[in-house]
Amino acid sequence: MSATLSGATVVTSLDPVRVVQGDVRVEDGRITAVGGASVGGTSAGTDGRRDCSGCLVVPGNVCTHTHLYSALARGMPYALAPPTSFVEILQRVWWRLDRALDDEGVRASALVGGMEALLSGTTTLVDHHASPNAIDGSLDVIEESLRTLGVRSVLCYETSDRDGPASARAGVLENRRFLGRVRNESLSLARGMVGAHASFTLSDETLAACTEAAGEFGVGLHVHAAEDAADERDAVARCGHRVAARLARAGALHEHTLLAHGVHLDDEEIGLVRAARSSIAHNARSNMNNSIGRARLRALGERVSLGTDGIGSDMFEESRSAYFRLREDDGGTGGDWPLQRLAEGAHLAGRAFGEPLLGALQPGAPADLVVLDYAAPTPVHDGSFAGHWVFGLSARVVRDVMVAGEWVVIDRRLTHVDQQQLAAEAMGQAARLWRRLDEIGPHEFEPEGGR
């Protein structure tokens, strides 16, 4: 398939910001030309031409930490005593929801979550999945759902000992099985990592099994790390080391590792993480929502990208919230900061796909892009784009979305599926899921060192 996006203002790079005027030419999944300069292999003609005059074309957003399995949790009833700590939030909310999921619930969650991602201009999801009563094959269900929609993804299963050793073994096996599939079938839109919940629900044996699997497949662990102080207390009580040191000693801290949150990492741990060149997914809204504290973003450095932790997939909103939260403490933070974090997210996805140009709109790059119908009230250029991003743009102006050269959203509608039907089916699945959830009590797992 080939396409020409004509007459747009094109943001070819977020870090550093580069803005040019002209056409974007796409052939066989890749960008072949940007700007007025040249056209790729074949003549553009009128076929596949999409008028983008008056629009901004930007790289597709990447969410580097999400939980599609929570897509049907929005507004769900809650009748237990209100949680008073992060661990209680897990015990009383998320570790009940994940146990209520079956394959149908996983499918509905992935479809509706993936739909919302595309409609908000997010083209890649780095997902962390848990469904302890439906582990085997769950990553296939998600992969198939996202493939149907046309979402790019990096998937893993959240291995944990909280539901017992058999469940932990099944988690490791599911990661291995899916990584084997990725290797053998060369899936075009999906890659894998080895998922692990968090240090405080992982035995030494399970952590070792995860690390071994990651090594065999040449990928990293995707794991919550130091999200709450309870994770650090547990690691110290369990093995006498803090979380990052425990991961490092297990061989789990390296350049392919993705740590979610990292809020409570101390100076020494930040030193370990940075020396290992591991990535951090910062989830500003989730951190605020769970009252867990503030990540030390300046200290954490360059390999910080942005995730939603399951609060939708709207990276306009996430990046803006992260920016304002950081500005509250550090007024010297520039508007380029959220753009750098989003660019880093694309680099992370690019490493997973072996596509170093992912996230740039330049010849040779995968054609993952978003057309914004944005009536800019002031000029848009290299120096002003960050201001437009943090003060003007939002998912509301997403008009069209392309992933790997295919239009997946046109005029705010999904192209591959009937989104009204999909939403109606999700509604039915949500009712079913909520009924099942009602019968599941708080999880009894407790970290060492207290809640």
Establish whether the linkage from the previous residue to 16 is cis, with ω within 30° of 0.
yes
Report d(CA 224, CA 203) in Å as an integer: 15
Q: Which stretch binds Zn ion (CB under 5 A): 28-36, 157-165, 258-266, 375-383?
A: 258-266
Q: Which stretch binds Zn ion (CB under 5 A): 112-120, 243-251, 252-260, 363-371?
A: 252-260
User: Closest separation between CB of residue 67 and Zn ion, Å?
Assistant: 6
In the bound state, the residue with its beta carbon closest to Zn ion is 309
What is the dihedral angle through the alpha carbons of 413, 5, 398, 360, rounded to the nearest 10 degrees? 120
Report d(CA 402, CA 143) in Å as an integer: 18
User: Closest separation between CB of residue 152 and Zn ion, Å?
Assistant: 19
Place of tokens 């993705």: 258
Which residue lies nearer to Zn ion by CB, 2 or 257?
257
User: Closest separation between CB of residue 106 and Zn ion, Å?
Assistant: 16
Task: Tell me the helix, strand and coil percentages in the chain, rounded to 5.
Answer: 40, 20, 35
Q: Where are the beta strands (DSSP E) in 136-218?
A: 152-155, 190-192, 194-198
Query: Under 8 Å CB-to-CB from 186, ≥6 apart: which residues?
Result: none
Report d(CA 34, CA 359) in Å as an integer: 14
User: Closest separation between CB of residue 93 and Zn ion, Å?
Assistant: 13
User: Closest separation between CB of residue 264 and Zn ion, Å?
Assistant: 15
Please work out, in degrees rounded to the nearest 5, the angle formed at the alpha carbon of residue 151 by the alpha carbons of 33 and 1. 40
Which residue lies nearer to Zn ion by CB, 15 or 309?
309
Which residue lies nearer to Zn ion by CB, 15 or 232?
232
Q: Is 228 a binder of Zn ion (CB under 5 A)?
A: no
User: Closest separation between CB of residue 281 and Zn ion, Å?
Assistant: 8
Which residue lies nearer to Zn ion by CB, 95 or 374?
95
- Report the SS3 class of residue 221: strand
Task: Report strand pairing: 398-403 vs 406-410.
Answer: antiparallel
For the chain, report the end-to-end CA distance as a whole number of angstroms.
54
Which residue lies nearer to Zn ion by CB, 94 or 434?
94
Which residue lies nearer to Zn ion by CB, 150 or 310?
310
Which residue lies nearer to Zn ion by CB, 260 or 367?
260
The radius of gyration computed from the CA coordinates of the chain, to the nearest angstrom, equals: 21
With beta carbons less than 8 A apart as the criterion, state whether 263 and 293 touch: yes
Q: Which stretch binds Zn ion (CB under 5 A): 165-173, 186-194, 255-263, 322-330?
A: 255-263
Which residue lies nearer to Zn ion by CB, 74 or 435?
74
User: Closest separation between CB of residue 306 and Zn ion, Å?
Assistant: 13
What is the enclosing helix (H) or strand (E) of 369? Answer: strand 369-372
User: Closest separation between CB of residue 108 and Zn ion, Å?
Assistant: 20
Which residue lies nearer to Zn ion by CB, 27 or 309?
309
User: Closest separation between CB of residue 193 and Zn ion, Å?
Assistant: 13
298-317 residues in contact with Zn ion (CB under 5 A) are 309
Number of residues that bind Zn ion (CB under 5 A): 2
What is the dihedral angle through the alpha carbons of 286, 111, 153, 17, rounded to the nearest 10 degrees? -60
Report d(CA 87, CA 73) in Å as an integer: 18
Query: Would you tell me which residues interact with Zn ion (CB under 5 A)?
Result: 260, 309
